[in-house]
Amino acid sequence: QVTGPSGEGTDAVVILEKTPFQEEKVSDLLKKHTKLELQMRNDIYSTYHLYPPPELSEIKTTVVYPATEKHLQKYLHQEVHLIRETWEDYKNITLPFIQSQSFSIQWVYNILEKKAEADRIIHENPDPCNGFVLVPDLKWNQNQLEDLYLIALVHCREVKSLRDLTAEHLPLLRNILEEGKEAVAKRFGVPGSQLRIYLHYQPSYYHLHVHFTALSYDAPGSSVERAHLLADVIDNLALDSTYYQKRALTFALRADELLLKKFQEAGRV
Amino acid sequence: QVTGPSGEGTDAVVILEKTPFQEEKVSDLLKKHTKLELQMRNDIYSTYHLYPPPELSEIKTTVVYPATEKHLQKYLHQEVHLIRETWEDYKNITLPFIQSQSFSIQWVYNILEKKAEADRIIHENPDPCNGFVLVPDLKWNQNQLEDLYLIALVHCREVKSLRDLTAEHLPLLRNILEEGKEAVAKRFGVPGSQLRIYLHYQPSYYHLHVHFTALSYDAPGSSVERAHLLADVIDNLALDSTYYQKRALTFALRADELLLKKFQEAGRV
């Protein structure tokens, strides 16, 4: 809270960000530091506290003032909790929750039916069961390959997520993996060995889709508590058709998400 | 390069890391800053350069000295390739490679034998088969919980990695999961539902260890192509004792890594 000229309290948002090192200033940092304090030594490894002079440790500061309630909400820290969802949890808590939500996926159908983004399609396999459409994700501006991000949307509309997959979907999944890699190599020159190809669980929408991101890109949602490599999914299903109707799956939920509340009500958190 | 006492050049690796803000020091930062420079103003938004006093802008510094060629390679920027390693690949390429390397893990034994870092131990289960030691990772300065990072090192010395695990290791793995969560909750007040607990494959050293990181922390090596959730590993082994001697595993190798060359020579990349 900032006290304004007329004495009333008015909220401000102040964002402090440490910025990346500038390569050309690193040698200054090592020469001019005011203080270097040994913390720990073990064999050839040691750690120190280094206290740099102010001009070498700029903090980027952004101020929103006066800030509205909406600005405050946007920047408030949300606690995140891991859920370990068993198959029973899925049937009793998650599935009824998904079915009760009426989050529109019309935008997905628009793409599949060529009513939107038709000119953006990178590849299509038109088979209604085992086919899919590959399009650039909206998060990618296509200006550089460093943050390459594409999405494969399946044509069939019955598969909500990883939890619905069985061995019967292997032809579809293998098509996505093989044709997707080929299409990305052909169009963008990025080989399959430099692509991270994965599903999310929980996904952000319940129409099966697969993410293709550049391996060098630390894409949001590519961490182990959310991403499942398509190659692993295929191997798990080949090993056991009901793998994803048996195995507990881990995912994170933010404190304000309704699904977390459902798990809490069920005494599962 | 560091010039040693006898004048010869010896390489050192110096890692500089800006650490997260400590919440209780933010008000000091806003009060005591030596300089605040306006950069841009537009309506209710403005940005500044803030130059904090040295004591409020610690840089975590890690030194490896003397550093071997392998240490240098580890930190140089490189193109990265995904490998899909079958069990046959592991037996024919990876395992012989690991055995041919003699990367010292003396520092691990030093910790297990209390010859180093003994005062840093957070928890120990002393059982030679099913026991482990939990210590803060060197990457964590312990000043703030946002980037909490601990490592569980197992007492038994025969388990190199995920590939060696079978159902016989379930008691060990369950001890790490349960006792580890408990110890972190007790010491740091962070509940198990806010911890990402996982193994790396490939690991950076071949003595079984488990990573504990804050869920809110985008820890390096927590992405799906390297991390394996301990809870998933336990469930997979409970389902099938030889799961990790069957399943292909994906990991990334940098262009300069010898193991990549071995896969290339075998025609597997």
Considering CB atoms only, which of B54, B192, B248 is closest to A235?
B248
Token pair belonging to B32: 């005591």
What is B2-74's CATH topology? Phosphorylase Kinase; domain 1 (3.30.200)
Q: What is the per-residue pLDDT across B197-223, written as a single tens digit (0 to 9) for each?
A: 999 999 999 999 999 999 989 898 999
Is A228 within 8 Å of chain B by CB? yes
Expressed in percent and rounded to 5, the helix, strand and coil fractions of chain B are 35, 25, 35
What is the spatial distance between Cα B60 and Cα A153, in angstroms, rounded to a whole number? 44
Angle between helices B170-188 and B230-239 (to 10 degrees): 160
Using an 8 Å Cβ cutoff, are B187 and B122 in contact? yes
Which has the minimum average pLDDT: A182-186, B68-72, B73-77, B247-251?
Answer: B73-77
Mean pLDDT of the A207-234 span: 95
Q: Which of A113, A85, A79, A117 is nearest to A98 (CA)?
A: A85
Which phi and psi angles does B257 have, rounded to 5°?
Answer: -80, 135
Q: What is the per-residue pLDDT across A55-114, written as a single tens digit (0 to 9) for each?
A: 888 888 889 999 887 778 777 777 889 999 999 999 999 999 999 987 778 889 999 999
Q: What is the CATH number of domain A77-266?
A: 3.30.428.10
Mean pLDDT of the B227-254 span: 96
pLDDT at B182 over 80: yes
pLDDT at A216 over 60: yes
ipTM exceeding 0.90? no
What is the spatial distance between Cα B251 and Cα B201, in angstroms, rounded to a whole number? 7
Report the DSSP pairing between strands B209-214 and B195-200. antiparallel
Is A48 within 8 Å of chain B by CB? yes
The H-or-E segment that residue B195 falls in is strand B195-200
Catalytic-residue membership of B228: no
Token pair belonging to A65: 């003032």
Mean pLDDT of the B20-48 span: 84
- For residue A29, the distance in angstroms to the closest alpha carbon of chain B comes to 10
pLDDT at B129 over 80: yes
- For residue B102, the distance in angstroms to the closest alpha carbon of chain A comes to 16
* pLDDT > 90 in chain A, percent: 62
Sheet holding B123-125, edge to edge: B123-125, B132-136, B149-154, B209-214, B195-200, B227-229
pLDDT computed for residue A9 by the predictor: 67
In chain B, where the domains are located? 2-74, 77-266
